[in-house]
Amino acid sequence: MTEIGQPRHYKIEMLTSAHDRRSFESENPKIDDYLKRMALQRMKRHQARTFVIIADDEPTAILGFYTLTMATISFDESPPIYKAPPGKSVTAALLAQMAVAKTYSGKGFARKMVMHCLHNCRQIDAVSGLLAITVDAADENAKSLYLHLGFEVADERDPMRLHMPMDAVIKKLEMD
Ligand SMILES: CC(C)(COP(=O)(O)OP(=O)(O)OC[C@H]1O[C@@H](n2cnc3c(N)ncnc32)[C@H](O)[C@@H]1OP(=O)(O)O)[C@@H](O)C(=O)NCCC(=O)NCCS
């Protein structure tokens, strides 16, 4: 337990079975359900990686989480950012899920997790090359947050899919 007056410290680490997934509750039950039922299974199958934000004095309580995986995007969806030749599909990192526990919203946890995610994307870029990171905003509220954090719409026909090209990722990490 942190003593009264001591600031709490938070850290982001990879999800394990030791974390309490069942008690997690954000504003979006569908995303919570992913954490409860799918996240570990997809980790075991090497399909995705989920990261959780925890407090040092309560290391099993999940305060927020995000999932990173890879996605194939066809050229028609987003030509300007990916600079792919016609008819080609491209691979990008996908921020597939993100949620913050209701009681912790508005404290900067989503920003922390997006920056952690961008850092992970830079690592992927360093070892295999990566064009961009993409995210499908769940609603207008989430879209507005991602736009605020530097993502952009690449194709007006797909307005809920947001992107951040690798150059922008690197710039944002340097400015942080
Ligand atoms: C959306 C959600 C992840 C935001 O989490 P949060 O921890 O409250 O967000 P933060 O406090 O880290 O906010 C990050 C930044 O975005 C800004 N922001 C928050 N909501 C915003 C909005 N609707 N529009 C624009 N900016 C917004 C904050 O002011 C903050 O800006 P700053 O860092 O420049 O000061 C959280 O409300 C949630 O879990 N919602 C339910 C699940 C969900 O919708 N997930 C998104 C799926 S795509």
Residues 56-81: pLDDT tens digits?
Answer: 999 999 999 999 999 988 756 555 67
Distance from residue 131's CA to the centre of ligand 1 (Å): 25
Report pLDDT for 176: 86
Higher model confidence: residue 78 or residue 123?
A: 123
Which atom of ligand 1 sits closest to the CA of residue 135?
48
Closest atom of ligand 1 to CA, residue 136: 48
Q: What is the mean pLDDT of residues 161-167?
A: 94
Where does the pLDDT of residue 5 fall: very low under 50, low under 70, confident under 90, or very high at 90 and above? low
CB 117 within 8 A of CB 66: yes
Pocket test for ligand 1, best of 50, 63, 111 (most atoms within 8 A of CB): 111
Write out residues with Cβ below 6 Å of ligand 1.
Answer: 26-28, 31, 98-100, 105-111, 137-138, 141-142, 144-145, 148
Confidence (pLDDT) at 4: 58
Atom from ligand 1 closest to the CA of residue 101: 39
Q: How far is the CA of 86 from the centre of ligand 1 (A)?
A: 35
Band (pLDDT 50/70/90 cuts) for residue 7 is confident
Mean pLDDT of 11-23: 98
Global pTM?
A: 0.94
HSE of 35 in the Cβ direction (CA atoms, 13 Å)? 32
- Domains, the chain, in order of start with CATH, read 10-175 (3.40.630.30)
What integer best gives the mean pLDDT of the chain? Answer: 92
Residue nearest atom 4 in ligand 1 by C-alpha distance: 110
Task: Determine the atom of ligand 1 nearest the C-alpha atom of 100.
Answer: 39
CA angle, 88 as apex, 87 and 92 as ends, to 5°? 140
Q: What is the band of 2 on the pLDDT scale with cuts at 50, 70, 90? A: very low
Over residues 68-122, the pLDDT tens digits come to 999 988 756 555 677 777 777 888 999 999 999 999 999 999 999 999 999 999 9
Return the bridge partners of 49, or none.
Answer: 68
